[in-house]
Amino acid sequence: MQRDVKKMLKHRENQAGFSLAEILIVVAIAASVVMVVGSLNGNVNLLNGLVSQQLQSKSDIDQTLQILASEVRSAGLSQNGAYPIDWATSSSFAFYSDINKNGATNHMRYFFASSTIYKGIIAPTGTPAAYPSSTEKITDVVDNVIPPTTSTPLFGYYDALYTGTQSPSTSSIILANIRLIKMAFAADVQPSQSPGPEYFTLMIDIRNVRSN
């Protein structure tokens, strides 16, 4: 009888709660779930951040190109009467434009150097007006640019006969014949991350040389 009572009590004790081993297993599983959820949440936040940065970088470049297009479209005679286009090569383009809309025509220059597209501005000085190169203010406008090549120049130029299918002039460019400018380049907006370089292109019509 006494032996049966002891067996009964032991059975009830075993049924009363979890063993230490069971508790440790549950705790380990719960900790693993928390770690997995936390890691997943962190990866999602990181991905969202990278996508946001990339979209912002593309947006910044697009905005820069819109500013450039506006400046080129309004190109006109310099303060001393020089032709609206100063020079045009496959990697640089210089022109005159009143970018501040204050009646003073600045000398503008966009050019490629060391994986960067730069912008140079020279304000007119004196009478008659002069544009001393020593006063040029240069800023970088697009970084991490893939170097242009002969087959993929940064700038391409078209004359009044362009109908949409001709190739741009790449040599013996006659400034007076330029009516349209094509700017095209690839830039790695996030060099250390996928998906790699993005391609940018635009066509610009110079309004004030249409009838020249």
Condensed to tens digits (0 to 9), the pLDDT of residues 59-98 reads: 888 999 999 999 999 999 999 999 999 999 999 999 999 9
- The answer to whether residue 93 is domain-embedded is yes
Condensed to tens digits (0 to 9), the pLDDT of residues 151-178 reads: 889 999 999 888 888 888 766 789 999 9
- The answer to whether residue 158 is domain-embedded is yes
Q: Among candidates 172, 86, 82, which has minimal Cα distance to 121?
A: 86
- The answer to whether residue 199 is domain-embedded is yes
Structure tokens at 212: 């020249």
Beta carbons of 153 and 165 less than 8 angstroms apart: no
- The answer to whether residue 2 is domain-embedded is no
Please give the tally of structural domains in the chain. 1
* Domain around 152: 49-209
- The answer to whether residue 114 is domain-embedded is yes
- The answer to whether residue 42 is domain-embedded is no
CA–centroid distance for 210 within its chain: 31
How far is it, in rounded angstroms, from Cα 130 to Cα 79?
8
- The answer to whether residue 38 is domain-embedded is no
Q: What is the pTM of this model?
A: 0.71
- The answer to whether residue 41 is domain-embedded is no
Q: Among candidates 87, 93, 67, 211, which has minimal Cα distance to 155?
A: 93
